[in-house]
């Protein structure tokens, strides 16, 4: 009883990066996200798990307003990034997305050279003034994306010519090249083989030092391996949110328990 508050305190030592309150998402008449409130910490890997169709991707896309690109999608509620409401009418989603980068389920490199894939973000955001600076950003991003050694000799060859795992790491490198503060990943390993998955997971763990990472995954083992916090979604509701170790060992909600023991799929 005495320890409990202090445990809370140690957890909260890390700053809150994103605070979502009472978020509702509708696709036309479909109510896809219901009353979700969650606080995502800085320098932490947060995993969203849940059966497919439960709204993980939908909620993730709220965090960088990618849902704006879907005509029928409507978002209500409040999402604060560093205490600023990202759905404020004054906010330009383009600026927001530079701060909140995204990696998609299917690797989607541009059909351009590896170099141009990485350089595109920095270029449109004016992060480099000279070619030398741009070269430096490209190298640094590819190193942080743990793919530099594999591609350093063929920066001018097309990014689409890489293997699936390499493409996904290229996409991660591309996302971090714009120096975002938060990195959203929607099932980044679902199209990868186990070896590539291991490489990407290792990379995610390293990224934690600099970013707040939110990862959607359908693999509970993966959530257990890479995340510190886990949120369990079910039918559009956030059922349970807490430390990964706690969610996987002593879930509070019976639905969470059935899911992690394999009874809801």
Ligand X SMILES: Nc1ncnc2c1ncn2[C@@H]1O[C@H](COP(=O)(O)OP(=O)(O)O)[C@@H](O)[C@H]1O
Residues in contact with another protein by CB under 8 A are 64, 66, 69, 71, 94-98, 101-104, 106, 108-111, 120-121, 124-125, 160, 171, 174-175, 178
Q: Indicate the pairing of strand 212-216 with strand 30-41.
A: unpaired
Q: How far apart are CA 74 and CA 159, in angstroms?
A: 34
Shortest separation between residue 233's beta carbon and ligand X, angstroms = 6
Q: Is 82 left (phi over 0), alpha (psi -120 to 50) or beta?
A: left
Segment interacting with Mg ion, rule: CB under 5 A, options 50-58, 152-160, 218-226, 240-248: 50-58
Q: How far apart are CA 139 and CA 152, in angstroms?
A: 8
Helix (H) / strand (E) containing 257: helix 254-260
Annotate 54-73 with DSSP letters as a single string: SSHHHHHHHTTTGGGGSTTE
> Does 32 interact with ligand X (rule: CB under 6 A)?
yes
> Does 94 interact with ligand X (rule: CB under 6 A)?
no
Q: Report the candidate in 99, 263, 234, 105 with the shortest Cα–Cα distance to residue 180.
A: 99
Q: Report the candidate in 197, 258, 205, 198 with the shortest Cα–Cα distance to residue 50.
A: 258
Give the distance from CA 19 to its chain's centroid.
Answer: 15
> Does 30 interact with ligand X (rule: CB under 6 A)?
yes
> Which one of 26, 27, 104, 110 is in contact with ligand X (CB under 6 A)?
27
Of 40-69, binders to ligand X (CB under 6 A) are 50, 52-58
> Which one of 44, 57, 113, 222 is in contact with Mg ion (CB under 5 A)?
57
Residue 67: helix, strand or coil by DSSP? helix
Shortest separation between residue 149's beta carbon and another protein, angstroms = 24
- Closest CB to another protein among 31 and 125? 125
Shortest separation between residue 56's beta carbon and Mg ion, angstroms = 6
Shortest separation between residue 52's beta carbon and Mg ion, angstroms = 7
Shortest separation between residue 66's beta carbon and Mg ion, angstroms = 12
Shortest separation between residue 16's beta carbon and ligand X, angstroms = 24
Number of Cβ within a 10 Å radius of residue 110: 15
> Does 107 interact with ligand X (rule: CB under 6 A)?
no
Total count of residues recorded for the chain: 265
Q: Which two tokens stand for residue 234?
A: 């079910």
Q: Which does 58 bind (CB under 5 to 8 A by kind): Mg ion, ligand X, another protein, none?
A: ligand X
Q: Which does 27 bind (CB under 5 to 8 A by kind): another protein, ligand X, Mg ion, none?
A: ligand X
Q: Indicate the pairing of strand 16-27 with strand 30-41.
A: antiparallel
Residues within the interface to Mg ion (CB under 5 A): 57
């Amino acid at each position: 009883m005495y320890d409990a508050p202090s445990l809370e305190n140690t957890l909260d030592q890390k700053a809150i990066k994103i605070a979502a309150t009472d978020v509702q998402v509708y696709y036309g008449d479909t109510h896809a996200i219901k009353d979700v409130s969650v606080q995502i910490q800085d320098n932490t890997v947060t995993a969203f798990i849940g059966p497919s169709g439960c709204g993980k991707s939908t909620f993730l896309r709220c965090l960088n307003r990618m849902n704006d690109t879907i005509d029928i999608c409507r978002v209500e509620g409040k999402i604060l990034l560093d205490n600023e409401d990202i759905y404020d009418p004054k906010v330009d989603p383009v600026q927001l997305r530079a701060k909140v980068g995204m990696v998609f389920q299917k690797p989607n490199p541009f059909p351009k050279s590896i170099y141009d894939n990485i350089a595109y973000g920095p270029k449109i955001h004016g992060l480099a003034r000279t070619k030398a600076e741009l070269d430096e950003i490209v190298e640094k991003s590819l190193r942080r994306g743990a793919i530099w050694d594999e591609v350093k000799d063929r920066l001018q060859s097309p990014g689409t010519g890489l293997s699936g795992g390499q493409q996904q790491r290229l996409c991660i490198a591309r996302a971090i090249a714009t120096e975002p503060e938060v990195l959203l990943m929607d099932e980044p390993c679902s199209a990868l083989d186990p070896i590539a998955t291991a490489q990407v997971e290792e990379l995610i763990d390293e990224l934690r030092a600099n970013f707040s990472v939110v990862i959607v995954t359908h693999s509970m083992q993966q959530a257990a391996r890479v995340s510190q916090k886990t949120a369990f979604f079910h039918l559009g509701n956030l059922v349970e949110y807490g430390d990964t170790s706690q969610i996987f060992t002593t879930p509070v909600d019976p639905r969470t328990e059935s899911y992690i023991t394999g009874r809801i799929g």
